[in-house]
Amino acid sequence: MTGAAKSAADLAAEQAAHWNGPGGQGWLRAQARLDHSLVEIGRRVLALANAQPAEKVVDVGCGPGGTTAALAASVGPAGHVLGVDISRVLIDAALTRRLANATFIAGDAGTHPFDAASADLIFSRFGVMFFADPVASFANLRRALKPAGRLAFVCWRPPQDNPWSLVPVKAAAPFLPPLPRPGPEDPGQFSFGDRARVERILTGAGFASLAIEPLDVQMWMGKDVADVVANAGRFGPLARAFAEADPESVTKAKAAIAEALAPHVTTEGVSLPGACWLVSATPG
Ligand SMILES: C[S@@+](CC[C@H](N)C(=O)[O-])C[C@H]1O[C@@H](n2cnc3c(N)ncnc32)[C@H](O)[C@@H]1O
């Protein structure tokens, strides 16, 4: 059974509940580890976006504001960054940064009434794959862009290209309740994996001059296997299954994850391949 029959309203409510509940809390708890894992991807998408002094930027799905802070430094005191996130808990964390030239708003970036033609840059690191109606949401973002503005974001390629996610999930799955299996059009972490779908969404929303380039990275997962296993199931696809499983099954799942990760230990810690799309476009 997939979620294909759910309405857009149901899917949007599910995403809002997830990111205001376990998803947001899990992301916050793992923030230091995630910032470490995502540093290279962040560097690459920020370079693609190339924010300039005095520009106005929107950071979509800004989470606790790590990329918002980097963008705020690039645009300087004459510029401004608006961080938008559906998760109140993550916006509260972002607000503690007290950035002089950034504002944070809790809300759905797909429907937020941005000032029309006000932004030079719409940016996101992994914050655009969760819209219930992606064409309408990207059309809303496009309306916020100045005619000469640009869109730049990074999203994951499919799970099979992302062993950092797939290896632990495949190892643990036999010991856990069934994992969520989102339909191909449902929101979720890997919902922009299909390049043709990304093109269809952006073109449907009115964007032009699309560039969708692969980015391959090594994802740091933790300092050693024990460290990764201790944090397994804190967020992501395993979180709900771990929460629903009995303690014995969780122990077995963790042992299986440890075995599957053993070949991926490097001198720097546990590291597995990750695969993204770096996407840019203009408002057409
Ligand atoms: C994978 S996290 C990325 C967070 C942050 N961009 C980073 O790289 O650290 C996805 C973020 O998108 C946010 N999000 C999901 N749906 C959203 C929506 N419709 N509008 C705004 N934010 C959304 C989530 O709350 C979450 O903070």
Mean pLDDT per 10-residue segment, the chain (284 residues): 69 92 90 91 98 98 97 98 97 97 98 98 98 97 98 97 96 91 88 98 98 97 94 82 91 96 95 98 96
**Structural domain containing residue 57:** 8-282
- 112 is a domain residue: yes
- 53 is a domain residue: yes
Tokens encoding 246: 């009995």
Name the residue of 15, 71, 85 whose CB sits within 8 Å of the most ligand 1 atoms, as the mutation to test its pocket.
85
Q: Which amino acid is at 192?
A: F
For the whole model, what pTM was predicted?
0.95
The answer to whether the CB of 61 is under 6 A from ligand 1 is yes
Helix axes 88-95, 8-20, angle to 10 degrees: 40
Closest CA to 283 of 122, 95, 98: 122
- 223 is a domain residue: yes
User: Can you tell me the distance from the alpha carbon of 64 to that of 87, in angstroms, rounded to the nearest whole number?
Assistant: 9
Cβ–Cβ < 8 Å for 144, 116: yes
- 151 is a domain residue: yes
Name the residue of 14, 62, 135 whose CB sits within 8 Å of the most ligand 1 atoms, as the mutation to test its pocket.
62
Q: What is the CATH number of the domain that holds 232?
A: 3.40.50.150
- 2 is a domain residue: no
Residue-level pLDDT at 241: 87
- 134 is a domain residue: yes
The answer to whether the CB of 85 is under 6 A from ligand 1 is yes
Considering its fold, how many domains does the chain have in total? 1
- 28 is a domain residue: yes
Closest CA to 8 of 198, 173, 137, 101: 137
- 1 is a domain residue: no
